[in-house]
């Protein structure tokens, strides 16, 4: 039984009477085995001369379901629903993700908007491009431009420029400050420990020092390390009884790593020494 001869299952003819190219409706080798399948004119792109190709399994140029196994080149305008199971987007823009999902790697381009839910970037690196808005979370970025961070944590800016915004420096790494006081007595040169060695990678943070001479006229110094002159001197003086010195450091003085706090006497005398500090890994 022949196929239908009723439009649209007929050839079209041009002004010279030449018929159009026809295609068989159905899957080649199955539905047309008896030569009875309907035929349709094939549509051609007038700009390129290329035949338009459609996903025949889903019934049109805008399928509502199905699987696109491989797109080697071209443009997907919109995925309104469904899942991109695997593959790589090497360039271009992924404009909207309407529902929850995960993007493993965006090598280049722009991730513009996550419209609803949350985007979880579980692994990978955004090597170049623009991440426009991060509502919350953490970004560790070694190079490039971070346009806007509404909330969250910027772990480190190793090298770059912050052109606008507000920076709040949390210089106090702990809430508990240690206070150490002692009554030092010496009849000659004496070194004594206020706080022991901080250890490798750990610093002393000193917020306050006071020295009050009780008796004698000893030269008393509070030091970072054992050098009695230079940048290691926090407070020093040779005072008469009941005189002394008080120093508050704001921001706190930061020692080098693997340091210690000590006091030093030269001469005979007695003095009250107090120091406020803490140890911090920075």
> Residues 8-57: pLDDT tens digits?
778 888 888 788 877 777 766 666 666 677 877 888 888 887 877 655 44
Tokens at residue 238, please? 């040779």
Helix (H, G, I), strand (E, B) or coil at 277: strand
The order of strands in the sheet holding 269-281 is 178-186, 269-281, 202-216, 244-254
pTM greater than 0.85 (yes/no):
no
Say whether pLDDT at 259 is over 80.
Answer: yes
The H-or-E segment that residue 102 falls in is strand 101-102
Range of the domain at 43: 1-64
Q: Answer yes or no: do 97 and 188 share one domain.
A: no
Tell me if 173 is assigned to some domain: no
Angstrom CA distances, 269 to 138, 181, 184, 266, 275, stand at 56, 17, 8, 9, 19
Q: How many domains are there within the chain? A: 3
Tell me if 51 is assigned to some domain: yes
Give the Cβ contact number of residue 8 at 10 Å.
10
Query: What string of DSSP letters covers 144-183?
Result: S----BSSSEE----S----SS---------S--EEEEEE
pLDDT over 70, % of the chain: 52
Q: Answer yes or no: do 155 and 198 share one domain.
A: no
Domain boundary among the residues 168, 203, 231 is at 168
Tell me if 74 is assigned to some domain: no
Query: What is the tens place of the pLDDT at every residue in 60-99?
Result: 455 555 565 565 556 666 666 566 666 666 666 556 555 5
Nearest alpha carbon to residue 247 among 215, 206, 217: 206
Say whether pLDDT at 267 is over 80.
Answer: yes
Output the CA torsion sign for 257, 258, 259, 260: positive
Domain boundary among the residues 148, 168, 188 is at 168
Q: Answer yes or no: do 208 and 273 share one domain.
A: yes
Q: Answer yes or no: do 191 and 258 share one domain.
A: yes
Q: What pLDDT, on the 0 to 100 scale, is given for residue 14?
A: 80
End-to-end CA separation in angstroms for the chain? 87
Domain boundary among the residues 64, 97, 116 is at 64
CB 61 within 8 A of CB 77: no
Q: What pLDDT, on the 0 to 100 scale, is given for residue 230?
A: 92
Nearest alpha carbon to residue 221 among 230, 207, 211: 211
Tell me if 242 is assigned to some domain: yes
Choose between 147 and 43: higher pLDDT: 43
Highest mean pLDDT among 97-101, 154-158, 230-234: 230-234
Note the residue count of the chain: 282
Assign residue 265 the CATH number of its domain: 2.60.120
Tell me if 72 is assigned to some domain: no
């Amino acid at each position: 039984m022949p196929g239908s001869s009723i439009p649209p299952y007929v050839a079209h003819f041009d002004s010279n009477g030449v018929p159009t190219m026809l295609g068989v409706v159905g899957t080649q080798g199955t539905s047309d085995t008896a030569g009875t399948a309907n035929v349709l004119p094939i549509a051609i792109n007038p700009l390129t001369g290329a035949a338009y190709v459609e996903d025949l399994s889903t019934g049109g140029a805008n399928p509502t379901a199905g699987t696109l196994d491989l797109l080697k080149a071209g443009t997907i305008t919109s995925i309104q629903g469904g899942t991109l199971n695997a593959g790589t987007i090497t360039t271009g823009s992924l404009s909207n993700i309407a529902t929850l999902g995960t993007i493993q790697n965006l090598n280049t381009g722009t991730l513009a908007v996550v419209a609803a839910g949350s985007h979880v970037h579980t692994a990978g690196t955004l090597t170049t491009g623009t991440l426009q808005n991060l509502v919350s979370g953490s970004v560790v970025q070694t190079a490039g431009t971070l346009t806007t961070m509404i909330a969250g944590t910027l772990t480190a800016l190793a090298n770059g420029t912050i052109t606008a915004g507000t920076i709040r420096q949390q210089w106090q790494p702990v809430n508990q400050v240690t206070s150490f006081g002692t009554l030092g007595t010496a009849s000659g040169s004496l070194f004594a420990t206020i706080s022991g060695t901080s250890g490798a990678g750990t610093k002393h943070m000193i917020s306050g020092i006071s020295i009050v001479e009780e008796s004698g006229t000893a030269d008393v110094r509070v030091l970072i390390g054992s050098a009695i002159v230079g940048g290691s001197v926090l407070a020093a003086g040779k005072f008469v009884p009941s005189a002394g010195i008080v120093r508050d450091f704001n921001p706190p003085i930061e020692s080098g790593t693997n340091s210690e706090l000590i006091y030093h006497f030269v001469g005979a005398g007695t003095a009250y020494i107090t120091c406020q500090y803490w140890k911090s890994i920075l």
